[in-house]
Amino acid sequence: MEECVTVVSSPTVSVRLTSTLSSFEVNRRFNRGITIAEFKSKLELVIGCPAASMDLQLFSTSDKFLQSLDDNDTLLGSYPVDDDCRIHVIDRSGSLTGAFSDLSKVEKYEISEDAYEKRADSLRNLKKNMKLGRFNEEYVAMREETLAQKEAENKAALASITVGKRCQVQVVGQPTKIGTVMFVGMTDFKPGYWVGVKYDEPLGKNDGCVNGKRYFECEPKYGAFVKPMSVTVGDFPEEDYGLDEM
């Protein structure tokens, strides 16, 4: 007597989901008995685009394209959807082309400076009435005094900083760096006093040139400009990184 074997597939299937809206891949389990239309509705919460704007592509477990899931009335289980296969969602709503993120395509409301100054419901008028920010004379005076004091401290720090000296640079939130002073004085890119440093390692932002003006020479990414208060001159020998060793 021949033995009869009945294969019963699982009522649910686990698939990998990718989309044109994200570089991430997620795993979800779905019922094989739902239609493609119902499947798309469930994908709205996962992918983030309208079901009506979705095109679905089915890929095998080895990411080989199999077919499109384009019949909304067909059951998901009618397609060769197996565990660990991939379904790719193509968004046709406009997000893919940047229609909702390209601000250059958005019509902007413009108002003249004089008209804005006369408006009683503007943020500027509110700040004036509440004496906030630059409209608070006491705050402005205190801020200017603080900036003047800080600049005076930076100017005083320049007394010990001269071109050619070895130095240590300590900027808040950054690692300590060692280098050589290459420039001391005023610059065109920002007001105040600045110190140009050539670091021993490529931890800088430039090659001694800023906005087309050269202040000193060094290799790219070895140069930087810092405030004098961040610079300490002294005996800081250059480290031997063993570059001459074989």
Q: Pairing state of beta strands 54-59 and 22-31?
A: unpaired
Walk along the chain (246 residues) and give the pLDDT tens digit of each residue.
444 443 445 889 999 999 988 888 899 999 999 999 999 999 988 888 899 999 999 999 989 999 999 899 999 999 999 999 999 999 887 655 555 555 666 677 788 888 888 888 888 888 888 887 778 888 888 888 888 888 888 888 888 899 999 999 998 888 999 999 999 999 999 988 899 999 999 999 999 999 999 999 999 999 999 999 999 999 998 765 554 544
Q: Pick the closest to residue 93 from 55, 50, 56, 36 (CA basis).
A: 50
Give the predicted TM-score (pTM) of the model: 0.44
CA 42 to chain centre: 30
For the chain, list the domains and their CATH numbers. Answer: 12-91 (3.10.20.90), 159-233 (2.30.30.190)
Six token digits for residue 157:
């720090």
Residue with tokens 């229609």: 99
Six token digits for residue 117:
């100054």
Q: How many residues does the chain have?
A: 246
d(CA 219, CA 225): 14
Strand order in the sheet with 54-59: 22-31, 12-19, 85-91, 54-59, 65-68
